Chains A and B, each alone.
Chain A
Amino acid sequence: MDVLAFLAVPFVAGLILTGIHAYLGLHVVERGVIFVDLSLAQIAALGTTMAYLAGHDLHDPVTYFWSLGFTIAGAAIFALTRTHHAGKERIPQEAIIGIVYAVSAAAAILAMSQAPEGTEHLKDMLVGNILTVGWDSVIKTAALYALVGGFHWIFRAKFMAISMGQDVPKARFWDFLFYTSFGFVVTSSVVIAGVLLVFSYLIVPSVAAMLFARRVGTRLAFGWIMGAIVSGAGVLLSFHYDLPTGATIVCTFGGALALLALVRLAVPARA
């Protein structure tokens, strides 16, 4: 019984992560900005570190606004440097994303080296663990994701068109909104689940769905089902073999994708 109670929170957290990330993952894979979540999460972490350096406590709301401010700045950078669909530019957006990641990670190290002692645990506290997440943060996160999901539903035509490479007026503005809302989601996800797991929830369902389906709606449904099954299986495996939960779910995602790829090879594509 005890075990079931312990299983419930990470599993529900996994479902909530699946809900928004399988959707955002479609955009991310279509746009070819695979590592944008790592980059935005790192910028948010830099914001938190700077707030800490400025003398704010980690749980101070002010600290959250610092992190949010940095994330929005990152979103602005990605909106301004969009080159994906213009065709002629030589610098791929992934390069910008990588640079932003490396520089903000290094800047966080520099910031910590200037902080008073006791920053040893700061890195750890910025990255969550899905095993020890509480119901309160699961509920808060679900509410936030519902808001972001609603926002994306209302403007789905614009966001989809841009991701699919169509010409949309004021594309930079819509891109800014896209990356800002994305940054919102990723920064809260990383705090409850950690970087590796968030990346997997974002990319793997979307890639797996592309093996089998073309239509966006079908791909989304496929991604949701896969995310839910993998979350359940990963949590069970982690408890059964007593392994770190987040890493087990990531490896389950990897295994599931490999399995689906084999199925895809064995079953010829229908026209």
Chain B
Amino acid sequence: MKQTIIAFALSLLAGSALAAPAKLRVVTSSADLASITREVGGELVDVTSIARGYQDPHFVEPKPSFLLLLKNADLLMVIGLDLEIGWLPPLIDQSRNAKIRPGSSGYLDVSRGVEILDRPAGAVNRSMGDVHPLGNPHYWLDPANAVRIAIQAAKKLEELQPANAAVFQKRLNDFKGRMNAADLRWTAALAPYKGAKIVTYHNSWPNFMRRYGIDVVDFVEPKPGVPPSPSHLFQLIRMMKEQRVKVIVMEPYFDHKTPQSVADRTGAKLVVLYPSVGGAKTGSDDYFQLFDLNIATLIEALKN
């Protein structure tokens, strides 16, 4: 009996001494990065996203709790490509957490390791005019990039917590497997609509649509953040009629009046797709659900 108690006490001691290091505190700028990092980190990490899925990630109103989150973070993961430039840099500065400054070990810009579209080849200068020098920041909407993000997350988590490297690797492989299976399913579901032409409001779907062979022929917004001019709308409507474009895709946080009036004049259907995890009230709680929802919605619209 005595021995049992001692053994028990020893095991408790050993347990506390060898206890896994405290949970890594990860903060992400977007809910999609949070979802993917949870897949890789599981119970070993505590992941919080600053932007909610229903918010436009270009514009996030800073709140005091964000400073506390960042202050206590071990790792900050960002989409990069200037997506968060309007709100995140001052939050990082004011959090006074040296670990998560750009260039430090606790800062991970996942755009470095993914496939970026709309990036001009070669050097960019202002004389080239209408180009986005860094490329399109909505790259997370492609399962191949989700896997690339997960690989970077796993590598960074291993670096910060080497003791759990094997767990992160195992979870990463498991995620890759499930993602590939889901991607095959999504590809099959959209196969009948390959080559279909659509118009999107904002240029946020190039990765998603290219993945599934949907052709984005134009945008309602002529440039990001700039309202369409009458001549742009006129040309858009004429082109949609000529090419029989029957679907307009927009995000939930844009005003639907302009795209709806274009839809009315062309007989197209306006559908809302959710660019981020948590964007819809139900059924978008993680990356897989988000894609299930978006693909089901898109198929429903393309059917007609």
Q: Do A and B come from one complex?
A: yes
Binding site for B on A (CB under 8 A): 2-3, 5-6, 9, 55, 109, 112-113, 116-121, 123-125, 129, 131-134, 238-239, 242-245
**Bound-state Cα–Cα, A238 to B66, Å:** 12
Q: Is the CB of B86 within 8 A of A244?
A: no
Q: Is the CB of B129 within 8 A of A124?
A: no
**Bound-state Cα–Cα, A109 to B226, Å:** 8
Q: Which of B87-95, B189-197, B253-261 contacts A (4 or more CB under 8 A)?
A: B87-95
Contacts of A55 in B (CB 8 A): 126
- Closest partner residue, chain A, to B118 (CB atom): A117
Shortest beta-carbon distance from B101 to chain A in Å: 14
Q: Is the CB of B62 within 8 A of A118?
A: no
**Bound-state Cα–Cα, A152 to B255, Å:** 46
Contacts of A125 in B (CB 8 A): 85-86
Q: Which of B65, B90, B225 contacts A120 (CB 8 A)?
A: B225
Does chain A have a CB within 8 A of B242? Answer: no
Contacts of A134 in B (CB 8 A): 90, 93-94
Count of A-B residue pairs with CB < 8 Å: 87
Answer whether A117 and B130 are a contact pair too, CB < 8 Å, given A3-B68, A6-B67.
yes
Interface size for B (C-beta < 8 A) is 33
Q: Is the CB of A116 within 8 A of B126?
A: yes
Answer whether A118 and B132 are a contact pair too, CB < 8 Å, given A3-B68, A242-B64.
yes
Q: Which of A118, A238, A239, A245 contacts B133 (CB 8 A)?
A: A118
Q: Which of A9, A120, A131 contacts B58 (CB 8 A)?
A: A120
Binding site for A on B (CB under 8 A): 58-59, 61-65, 67-68, 71, 82, 85-87, 90-91, 93-94, 96, 126, 128-133, 222-227, 229
Q: Is the CB of B86 within 8 A of A132?
A: no
Q: Which of B91, B126, B222, B223 contacts A132 (CB 8 A)?
A: B91
Contacts of B62 in A (CB 8 A): 129, 131-132, 244-245
Q: Is the CB of B68 within 8 A of A2?
A: yes
**Bound-state Cα–Cα, A6 to B67, Å:** 8
**Bound-state Cα–Cα, A256 to B181, Å:** 59
- Closest partner residue, chain A, to B85 (CB atom): A121
**Bound-state Cα–Cα, A132 to B86, Å:** 12
Contacts of B91 in A (CB 8 A): 132
**Bound-state Cα–Cα, A46 to B19, Å:** 58
Q: Is the CB of B225 within 8 A of A244?
A: no
Q: Is the CB of A9 within 8 A of B86?
A: no
